[in-house]
Amino acid sequence: MIAITERAASPNRYSLIGVNVDDVTSVQLLEITRHHCKLALEHGKATTTQERRKQVIEEIQSLRLARHILIEQLKQSQNFGHI
């Protein structure tokens, strides 16, 4: 389990400061982050078509929503409400 207590270098609307993150959720968040990074790299390649770039943006938005839902569920389970 990870307890995040220090402020991150960049602002994050879905901050985990003060939230205990269980191992399963930590792995899920890490997988979302990895997939997001791979998509961002693909989007930036010169060979990526405009159509694919639009798909990548949609996939990234879906990942952001999945991340938001996971964090909200975690906060609610720890009685943080909407922080």
pLDDT digits (tens, 9 = 90+) for 33-50: 999 999 999 999 999 999
What secondary structure does DSSP assign to 6-50, as a single string? SPPSS--TT--TT-EE-HHHHHHHHHHHHHHHHHHHHHHSTT--H
pTM above 0.85, yes or no: no
Distance (Å, whole) CA 13 – CA 45: 28
For 50-80, the pLDDT digits (tens) are: 999 999 999 999 999 999 999 889 888 887 6
Q: Identify the residue whose tokens are 């985990």.
A: 16
Closest CA to 77 of 8, 25, 2: 25
Q: How far apart are CA 30 and CA 57, in angstroms?
A: 19
